C-alpha cells in the first residue's frame, strides 16, 4: 500500500460508513473480499487486492494442547473414573469379607470353648493274656528284669506259666496294616520278639523251631498278625517278618515256647482281656 493510500485511509477513518443496503455487513477484521456489500468508504481497490492475495493462515501456539493430546486427556479421565468405581466396588467387597472373617473368628472361639468344655477321655490300653487252647491253664510269660537296652538277638526270656500274673499280661499295641505288638506291662519298653532261624513255612519239626524271646524297643521283629482260626475266638499269632510261621506252645514243660510252620492244636490261642 502506498503512502497516499495510507493517508487517505487515515483520513477516512473518521468518516462514518454508509451501508449500501439494509442487508449489508461490515468486516470488523478489515479482511475485505470481492463482492462484499460494505461501503466503498471502508475499502480501497489496493486493500481488496491485498486481502485476495494474502489470505489468513491458521495454527496453534507451542504450549497449546493438540487435538490428540485433548483426546488422550479425555481417555485418561475416563480411565480414572472407571478405576475409582472399581476401587469403590473392591472396598465394598473388602468390608463384606472383613465382616465374614469376624463372624468366622467368633464361631471358632465358640467351638474352641465347646471343645475345652468336653471331658478329656483317653481310652485305656487293652491288656491281654495269651492262653493256650490245647493246654488249658497255660499262658505265655515274659521276664524282662534288668533288660534296659536293645540287644541284636533279643534278651528277655519268654516261656510258659500256669497262672496270670504281672509277667503274663501284655499291652496290645496297634500298628498300621492290622499289625500289633505285645508290650510287657511290668517292664518298661520290652516287647515279645520272634525270629524264624531256619524254620520255613510249612515245616513241622517235632519240637518246633525258631526263637521267641523279648527285645527292648519295638522294631520289625516285634510286630505280629492275629489270624482267626476258630469259631470260638481261637487265633494264631504270625510274625509279620516271617509269614507262614506261628507261635507254638508246648504245655508239657514251662520253657516250651517257640514257632511252628503250620497251625495245629499247639499253635492256637485265646487272647484273654485282663482288667
What are the structural domains of the chain?
3-53 (no CATH), 127-273 (2.80.10.50)
DSSP state of 273: E
| SS3 state at 190 | strand
DSSP state of 66: P
Q: State pTM to two decimals.
A: 0.57
pLDDT tens-digit profile, the chain (275 residues): 444 444 444 444 444 444 454 455 555 555 544 444 444 445 566 655 655 666 666 666 677 777 788 888 888 888 889 999 999 999 989 999 898 999 999 898 888 888 777 776 666 789 999 999 999 899 999 999 888 899 999 988 999 999 999 999 999 999 999 999 999 999 999 999 999 989 999 999 999 999 999 999 999 999 999 999 999 999 999 999 999 999 999 988 877 799 999 999 999 999 999 98
SS3 of 14-35: the string is: CCCCCCCCCCCCCCCCCCCCCC
Backbone angles phi, psi at 170, to 5 degrees: -135, 145
Amino acid at each position: 500500500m502506498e503512502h497516499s493510500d495510507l493517508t487517505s485511509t487515515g483520513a477516512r477513518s473518521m468518516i462514518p460508513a454508509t451501508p449500501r443496503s439494509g442487508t449489508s455487513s461490515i468486516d470488523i477484521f478489515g479482511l475485505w473480499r470481492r463482492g462484499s456489500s460494505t461501503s466503498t468508504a471502508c475499502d480501497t481497490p489496493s486493500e481488496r487486492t491485498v486481502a485476495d492475495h494474502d489470505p489468513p493462515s491458521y495454527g496453534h501456539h507451542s504450549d497449546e494442547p493438540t487435538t490428540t493430546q485433548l483426546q488422550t486427556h479425555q481417555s485418561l479421565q475416563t480411565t480414572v473414573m472407571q478405576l475409582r468405581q472399581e476401587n469403590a466396588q473392591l472396598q465394598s467387597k473388602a468390608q463384606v469379607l472383613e465382616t465374614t472373617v469376624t463372624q468366622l473368628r467368633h464361631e471358632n472361639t465358640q467351638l474352641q470353648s465347646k471343645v475345652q468344655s468336653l471331658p478329656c477321655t483317653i481310652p485305656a490300653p487293652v491288656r491281654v493274656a495269651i492262653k493256650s487252647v490245647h493246654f488249658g491253664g497255660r499262658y505265655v510269660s515274659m521276664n524282662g528284669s534288668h533288660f534296659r537296652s536293645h540287644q541284636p538277638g533279643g534278651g528277655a526270656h519268654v516261656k510258659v506259666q500256669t497262672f496270670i500274673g504281672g509277667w503274663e499280661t501284655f499291652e496290645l499295641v496297634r500298628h498300621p496294616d492290622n499289625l500289633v505288638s505285645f508290650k510287657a506291662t511290668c517292664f518298661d519298653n520290652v516287647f515279645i520278639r520272634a525270629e524264624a532261624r531256619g524254620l520255613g513255612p510249612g515245616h513241622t519239626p517235632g519240637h518246633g523251631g525258631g526263637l521267641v524271646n523279648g527285645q527292648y524297643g519295638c522294631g520289625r521283629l516285634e510286630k505280629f498278625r492275629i489270624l482267626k482260626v476258630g469259631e470260638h475266638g481261637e487265633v494264631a499269632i504270625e510274625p509279620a517278618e516271617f509269614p507262614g510261621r506261628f507261635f507254638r506252645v508246648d504245655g508239657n514243660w514251662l520253657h516250651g515256647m517257640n514257632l511252628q510252620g503250620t497251625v495245629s492244636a499247639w499253635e492256637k490261642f485265646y487272647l484273654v482281656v485282663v482288667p
